[in-house]
Amino acid sequence: MDRRAQALVLRRIPYGDTSLVLHVHTRETGRLGLMAKGVRRPKSRLEPVLQTGHLVELQLLVREGRELQLLKDADLREDFRGLRRDYVRLLSGLLVCEILERTQLPDQPDPLLFDTAVAVLRLAAGTSPRPQNLVYWFLLFLLSHSGYGLDLEACSRCGRPWEEFRHREGAGLDPREGRVRCPDCRPGGEETGLPPALWRVLRFLLHSPPEEVACREITPGTRVLVRTLLETLLHAHLSPMLELKSLRQLDELETTTETTREGHGDEDE
């Protein structure tokens, strides 16, 4: 049966001398594996179209129960060319693709997740000064969209609003329930620590549009805290999720860049 689908190309694996196995995330049917025969031939029109991170329109030959569906044709819809302006943008865009590949199960359509990923890639490819922040925003969106959102507004035990203890050290976050406990109710350090700087940045990421997130400076030390917490949450809730090595690379790259940058810009206070 012929089928058309919008898709993000997530990964390419060479197959034989001239073919590719493609991992894609489609708006209509979710994650799919495809066999793209002959697309690596020197004169193939499809080779430049089927690059990782491209938004494409696919024509497929689908058979129920087949592990790899057959690609018949593809047209480029958007290449997010701005991602190639610098390594931080490129790595941020590739991370969005990696997150989709590692967290989404096959044949589970999710148009909202697909549209959000495309919107994030467009922002990262634009002129926003902090495209790496979009990766954190997207991960928090994914957790919330999957039913594992964070509630940082009040202590889950005593109900005290966060404003009353936001400047105190010792608050904690239960990764399983995604709720905070104040320093007085945190039971002996059993939860992940939630220092004030991390708290402020998480609330900013949770309550701000991605366009604003991509313009905000976050200090390297706080980035490490955000990334570490996100890794904990992902491992707690999304079992297909493996370590995102590229996320650590992004932190390391940002730290290196920060040490050579003149001035400090906006802080994460």
CATH (domain of 149): 1.20.1440.120
Identify whether residues 68 and 3 lie together within a single domain: yes
Q: Alpha helix (H) ranges present in 187-244?
A: 196-207, 210-213, 220-237
Which two structure tokens, joined as six digits, stand for 107? 């044949």
Task: Please give the residue range of the domain that contains residue 65.
Answer: 1-79
Q: What is the pTM of this model?
A: 0.90
Number of domains comprising the chain: 2
Q: 27 and 111 in contact (C-beta within 8 Å)? A: yes
Tell me: do 62 and 169 sit in the same domain.
no
Total residues belonging to the chain: 269
| Residue 71, domain CATH | 2.40.50.140
Q: Where does the pLDDT of residue 242 fall: very low under 50, low under 70, confident under 90, or very high at 90 and above? A: low
Task: Name the 3-class secondary structure at 220.
Answer: helix
Q: How confident is the model at residue 253 (pLDDT cuts 50, 70, 90)?
A: confident
Average pLDDT over residues 153-158: 92
**Taking all residues of the chain, what is their mean pLDDT, rounded to a whole number?**
89
What residues contact 31, with CB distance under 8 A and at least 6 apart? 10, 23, 24, 25, 100, 101, 104, 105, 106, 107, 108
Does residue 99 sit in the same domain as residue 206?
A: yes
Q: Do 39 and 60 belong to one domain?
A: yes
At residue 252 the predicted structure's pLDDT band, cuts being 50, 70 and 90, is confident
CA angle at residue 188 from 183 to 194, to 5 degrees? 45
Do 122 and 193 belong to one domain?
yes
The torsion of the CA quartet 50, 52, 57, 63, rounded to 10 degrees, works out to 80
pLDDT band at 64 (very low <50, low <70, confident <90, very high): confident
Which whole-number Å values give the CA distances from 53 to 17, 22, 176, 263, 267, in the listed order? 23, 12, 32, 33, 31
Q: What is the pLDDT of residues 71-98, one digit of tens each?
A: 999 999 999 999 999 999 999 999 999 9
Choose the final residue of a domain: 22, 46, 79: 79
DSSP state of 154: B
Is residue 114 domain-shared with residue 47, that is, in the same domain?
Answer: no
Q: How far apart are CA 159 and CA 94, in angstroms?
A: 40
